[in-house]
Amino acid sequence: MNEFAIETEALAKRYGEVNALDGLTLKAPAGSVYGFLGRNGAGKSTTLKILLGLARATGGSAKVLGETVHPENLAILERTAYVGENKPLYEGRTPAELVRFNGGFYKTWSDEAAKRYSEMLDIPMERKIKTLSKGNRTKVSLLLALAQGAELLVLDEPTSGLDPVYLDEILRTLVEDHVSEGRTVFFSSHDLSEVEQIAEWVGIIDKGKMLLEARLDDIREHFRMVIASGNGLPEGGTDVVSVRRDKDFCHYVLSREGAGFAAKLEQQGAIVLETKPISLREVFLALVRKEAGNVPMEVLA
Amino acid sequence: MYLWKCWLEYRRVALILFVMTFGSICYVDYAVVSQPQLVNNGEGRTVLLEPGLGRFHKQEMQTAAIEEMKSIHCGWLVLAGLLAAICAGAGGGIGREYDGKTSELLFTRPRSRRSLLWMNWLSGMLILEAISLVPLVTWLAFRLAVTHSIGDGALFQTLLMWLPINMLLFGISLCSGVRLRSAPAGTVCSLAVIFWYGVTVTVLRAHFGLQTPGWWFDKLYGQFPYGHSQFPLGICSLWIAIALLFPYVTQKVLELRDIA
């Protein structure tokens, strides 16, 4: 078994003059839940499309489940379930017909699982897709992916449109039915609370670059924010993830050794106002804020 | 599975075309047979065909009456084939995946783009030929009922000779539908080709007195309906090869392109 379910190295994608991906390197460990975070247009969906062979990279390399990514690599598609950002479904068909359609493509497909998930999510299986609400369409997309029995689930904002009850059901199912069986879930999301709920790993990208890739537990335990004031404050450092200047204050996000860094600043004559643990949300905001001076990071754990 | 999905998409169009073709043939046959007609018997003599089925049994009218009906069914076979080719392009398949924004769903299934494209082509061709068979089958049924023989196979030859033309139009429709990411745009392209060809040939011949190259079409237009000895196998094969180029080019477009 491969150590990483998804592995990219300096992945690049250009659309004309626009760099959608600019040397993205990520490593999603096999059997983990990986939350892929970024602002709108950061390159999340482009990354997922390249991984699924829908788009071609213009540079770098990528591997999924040990297989090199390219559009005709059916070995990846056989072992991977994908839910796209817009939840594309055949409007004129019913969920029951889509289940039949999808089931025919996969050896690992389970009709029994499809039935179980359709009941769990209360999907109206005999109604045409075009008559379904956004939430129900999302549920159908997830049903098709979950019943596939894939080794890797690649989900692009999978829970958009779901109410909190179904959202909770889906997240629980992802963990109980998939991750517990050693499968990998790689999902992009804007909802940080959802990511904090189930993800073990997070990757934060911006402008096509990986800013941070770390275990969520490491962020909780080791990441610190240091707010300091003074002259000649450093613009970076070994463990500094981001620096943001706000008038007379400097906000540092550190991946470890927050107390040591604060002590060092004090030795240099700075006034350290606060050293505190930092949430995923604060890390995310610190990294992707326009005015933030980010230091692209390697894998931290 | 994709073939099944194509069938689900095509079946409504196929049913409408089937009913339209069958209904209109029956109606025209009835209209022709129920009225007296003056026709050329092929030997330079004009014959008056009496109303009713009696015309097919009387020595002096039988040949002319059968030829008249054969021409009608031939014309319908050509029309049905063209219509089915255009509708098959519009009715379903890869181009429609772009219209419905479902290309992402389809191309993440574990099938190569090549196989999905050719499945689409095959299903379209099956529908197309099934519709084209309606005039042939009704003609055979009619002929068997009236004269107790199936005749000289001229209509079957017509079907074979129009096969490349139908393939070509469907191929153009499919190819432009994928290239332009829209099935209706593909249909417009195939209609434009028919219109362009018709107008060009008409203008060159009628207004300028120029002879356009005969290629295949003169054979179709000039010998209608066709006899046994006139089936041009070589040129027919050439046109089939040209017609197959379009799905092949479509396959290459799909293989080289980002889907979404």
Which of B4, B97, B109, B114 should we substitute to test contact with A (largest number of A Cβ atoms within 10 Å)?
Answer: B109
**Does B113 contact A72 at a Cβ distance shorter than 8 Å?**
yes
> Residue B60: pLDDT above 60?
yes
* Chain B residues lying within 8 Å of A97, measured CB to CB: 8
* Chain A residues lying within 8 Å of B110, measured CB to CB: 74, 77-78, 105-106
Q: Does B181 touch chain A (CB under 8 A)?
A: no
The first and second tokens of residue A170, run together, are 């889906």
Which pLDDT score is estimated for B220? 54
Annotate B116-133 with three-state secondary structure: HHHHHHHHHHHHHHHHHH
Which pLDDT score is estimated for B197? 81
- DSSP reduced 3-state for B172: helix
Which pLDDT score is estimated for B36? 81
Tokens 């390399």 correspond to A61
Cα dist from B44 to A65, B32, B40, B58, B227, whole Å:
79, 21, 6, 19, 19
Q: Lowest-confidence range among A165-179, A248-262, B57-71, B168-182? A: B57-71
**Does B103 contact A77 at a Cβ distance shorter than 8 Å?**
no
Q: Does B12 touch chain A (CB under 8 A)?
A: no
- Residue pairs between chains A and B whose CB atoms are closer than 8 Å: 67
Which pLDDT score is estimated for B218? 56
**Does B260 contact A54 at a Cβ distance shorter than 8 Å?**
yes
Number of neighbours of residue B39 by Cβ within 10 angstroms: 17
B61, exposed or middle or buried, with CB in 10 Å at 0-12, 13-18, 19+?
Answer: buried
Quote the minimal CA–CA distance from B177 to chain A in Å: 18
Quote the minimal CA–CA distance from A69 to chain B in Å: 13
Supply φ then ψ for residue A222, to 5 degrees.
-110, -25
**Does B9 contact A92 at a Cβ distance shorter than 8 Å?**
yes
Domains in chain A and their CATH numbers?
A: 4-215 (3.40.50.300), 223-294 (no CATH)
Q: Does A88 touch chain B (CB under 8 A)?
A: yes
Each residue's pLDDT expressed in tens, for chain A with a length of 301 residues: 678 999 999 999 999 889 999 999 999 999 999 999 998 889 999 999 999 999 999 999 999 999 999 888 999 999 999 998 888 899 889 999 999 999 999 999 999 999 999 999 899 999 999 999 988 999 999 999 999 999 999 999 888 888 888 888 888 888 888 887 889 999 998 888 888 888 999 999 999 999 989 999 988 888 889 999 888 788 877 888 888 887 788 888 888 888 888 888 888 888 899 888 888 888 888 888 754 455 444 444 3
Nearest CB to A72 within list B109, B112, B259: B112
DSSP bridge pairs for A251: A227, A244
Instruction: Name every residue whose Cβ is closer than 8 Å to that of residue A258 and which is 6 or more positions away in sequence.
Output: A222, A223, A224, A225, A226, A275
Which of A105, A109, A140 should we substitute to test contact with B (largest number of B Cβ atoms within 10 Å)?
Answer: A105
Nearest CB to A52 within list B9, B102, B108: B108
Nearest CB to A54 within list B9, B108, B111: B108
Q: Which residue in A has a C-alpha nearest to residue B5's C-alpha?
A: A101
Is B68 within 8 Å of B32 (Cβ atoms)? Answer: yes
Q: Does A181 touch chain B (CB under 8 A)?
A: no
**Does A74 contact B5 at a Cβ distance shorter than 8 Å?**
no
Nearest CB to B108 within list A82, A91, A101: A82
The first and second tokens of residue A192, run together, are 């940080």
The first and second tokens of residue B160, run together, are 């074979």
Q: Does A84 touch chain B (CB under 8 A)?
A: yes
Is A82 within 8 Å of B108 (Cβ atoms)? Answer: yes
**Alpha carbon of residue B151 to chain centroid:** 22
**Does A56 contact B104 at a Cβ distance shorter than 8 Å?**
no
Q: Does A130 touch chain B (CB under 8 A)?
A: no
Which A positions 62-81 lie with beta carbon below 8 A of chain B? Answer: 71-72, 74, 77-78, 80
Report the mean per-residue pLDDT for chain B.
81
Q: CA–CA separation, B10 vs B4, rounded Å?
A: 10
State which of B42-56, B112-126, B127-141, B183-197 shows the largest mean pLDDT.
B112-126
